[in-house]
Structure formats: C-alpha cells, structure tokens
Amino acid sequence: MPNYAAWRCFSCLGLGLLLALPAAAGPGTVRIQAQEDGRLVVTGNDLHLVYDPHGCPTRNATLTSESRIHGQSLLDAHAVWGGPHLRWVGYLEGYGVHSQLPWRARVVQTEGSAAGFVTRVATTHFWDAAVTHVFFWDLPEVILFDVELIKRRDGPGSEMDGVAMCAFSTDRYLYNGMRLYNDDAGPYQVSFGHGPAGTLTGSDPVNGIFLKQRGGSRYVTPHLTRNLVLAQRDGENGPASPPCGWIFGGRFGSAVTTDDGGYYAHMVVVHPEGEPLHAGQSAHLQVLWFQGGAGNLERLEQVFALEESFRRPLVVETAHEHGRNVVYARETVGLARPWQIVILAPQYRALATRYPLFRGPGITALLLRDVRPGSRRLVGYLPADKGGA
C-alpha cells in the first residue's frame, strides 16, 4: 500500500520526478521483443507469451500454443488455431474471418510495470479492426484486449453483430464445455451453426450452470449475472477451480462452444455500447482473458472479484488543489477490489502516476490493488493544461 502522505510531500518536487518513480505495487518489468520473423514475445513474472500476426486461410493470427502463464498453457492452445485472439468484428464475413488475415503488429510500450502492443488488420469488406494487447507485471494472469471496431463503409450486411473473442484447445475432450452464471431459467434458443437446435433451460446465479459440448457448435444467449464465461474440462474441475475464460465489461451477445474436427473453441460475442456506427466511425470495447487456478487468481472468489470490479468501474475525477490537477479514483458501490483495471478517458493519457500505467494510441489503462469499499485513492497528477473532467 503506498504511503500517500510521503507521496504528497514528494510530489512538490515536480511531475518529472514523479514519473521517474517505480510502480507502487511492484518492482518487476514486463518486456516485449520483436523477433525477426515478425512474432512478438512477452516475458516477465512467470509470463511467456508469443503472438504470431501471420494469419492465413489455414491459421489464425493469435497468441500461440507456446504461450504460458505460470507454466500453464492458455486453454491448451491449438497449435494451428491458437489461444486467445480476436476472431471477428461486425459479423462473419465473406471468404473468412479477421483472425485468418495477416495483421500488422507494433510494440507501443516496450517494457515497464505495464507493456503492450497494437495489431491492425484491413479487409475488403465492411469492418477493419485494431487490437491493443496489455500486460501487467503485478497481474500476469490477465491479458487486457482493447478492440477497436472500424467501419469502412455502409450498406446491406454491414450491421453490427458484435465482437467475437475466441480461443481453441487441441483436444475436444479436454475442454469441452462452458460455465455461465445466469438468473433466467430460459428457455434459451440454442443454435448449431446457423440453424435452430431447440431450447435450453436451467439457471444458477451462484454456482453457474455447465453446458457440456460434444459435436457441432452451440450458441446460447442467457441473461448473465456475471460477465464471466469459463472454459471447463467436462465440468469436473468444478466452480472452485476454474481453468481460464473471458471477462467482459460491455453488453453481452452470446457464448459459443464449438466441438468439431478434433478441437474445442471457446468464444464470447460482446456488443459495443452506443448508437450504430456509420462509415468512418469506430468504437472501443474491452475484454479480459484470465488464467485461473494459479497466482492472483488461484480461487474462484478471486476471479469473481476481478469480474465485478471490471464490470462496475471506479469513478475517476480531477480536483484542482494547491495549484495542481490531482486525479482520484473513488469506490462508490461498496466493493472490496483486490485488483482493479481502470480504463481511463483520453484526457488522462498525460497522467503522472506511481501505479502501473499503459498508454496506447486508443486506450490508457491503470492497475490498482487493494481498493477498499467506499474509499478514494489518489492516483496521480495532470499537467496544468490537462485539467480532465
């Protein structure tokens, strides 16, 4: 926990010295290195991730099967189809999906207590996309994806159908189901591929319901009480030991499992908030991939706390005090937050802080820990000409 009294005194020496301080929550460094073949390698705090941007009709641009968090493979990632990645934006288009196109990758924050890179893809259809991948030394179990949906042109078929985030496993008998937390027993319409396949009933907002998957593709849109979809091994590991999955802050679209051709796919579809987009406009949404059962997310209640804090963000505000623009984050809903990923508005990009901070072209993200219910946390300062709002 930072010593705020000492910090206030020290800040009088100037913003330049404040920026030079290490992150408050830990001394470690995440590093991203570009390889000669164009792949990116992320290391730090028992983290070893490899991103391959070379999508093609028979391979996804994705975090590869070599990737490990605390020595664990990400969903036992499929060697060809890969681990967590953006599958598509808009809708499933034409000859293929966004993940099967070649992406341009650029490291924007090479090393520090937070680091990240941006990938971009251009299509010949309605939607382009950019994805910022963010990594924190103090929370290596979580990857933050900021997805930018970029609408190229209008026309029939260009309607928004959400953003699909997907991960593939090598064996459909290893991970072959998903756990949802819902409070509406249905019946839910279930489809396989593009055709109806009857209905599904059942709900459990506390322990979740397990949907076992064997053969084909299952699409389901339940009313969730948690923005959390777990990938599980036949349900046998149970709710007390989740292996991995997706957390999303935006409006949920559907959960999808695919068990076909010797692989299992685990997918969520999330819808951006706001009005429909028109040509030349873009929108952002954020999704987390988490690796449970180890480190900071060893227990299910820790995963629940991360999901709830991501879904119910802190209030960030600026106060003008003693000639300075002081930035605070307030907890207003009574949650104890062991970890809090704060997505900052654009005016806070110039924030000077001791906490892990990522500054990307489309997203600024801050990591806090141990935020008490109802508390106000001093997080940093803005230059005089960046008053915030």
**In the chain, domain spans:** 4-26+314-382, 30-305
Highest mean pLDDT among 55-59, 173-177, 209-213: 55-59
pTM value is 0.90
ω into residue 187 within 30 of 0, thus cis?
yes
DSSP symbol at 11: H
What's the pLDDT score for residue 279?
A: 94
What's the pLDDT score for residue 166?
A: 95
Other CB atoms closer than 10 Å to residue 301's CB: what's the count?
11
Tens digit of pLDDT for each residue in 57-77? 899 999 999 999 999 999 999
Q: How far is 64 from 42, CA to CA, in rounded Å?
A: 12
pLDDT at 35 over 80: yes
Mean pLDDT of the chain: 86
Tens digit of pLDDT for each residue in 332-372? 999 999 999 999 999 999 999 999 999 999 999 999 999 99
For domain 30-305, give its CATH number from 2.70.98.10, 2.60.40.10, 2.40.30.10, 3.20.20.140. 2.70.98.10
Q: What percentage of the chain carries pLDDT values higher than 90? A: 62
More confident residue, 185 or 73: 73
3-state secondary structure of 331: coil
pLDDT tier at 294 (50, 70, 90 boundaries)? confident
Bridge pairing between strands 127-136 and 114-121: antiparallel
pLDDT at 3 over 80: no
Q: How far is 336 from 352, CA to CA, in rounded Å?
A: 25
Using CB atoms within 10 A of its CB, is residue 105 exposed (0-12), middle (13-18) or buried (19+)? Answer: buried
Highest mean pLDDT among 76-80, 135-139, 381-385: 135-139
Other CB atoms closer than 10 Å to residue 317's CB: what's the count?
13
What's the pLDDT score for residue 189?
A: 67
Q: In what order do the strands lie in the sheet with 376-382?
A: 315-321, 324-330, 376-382
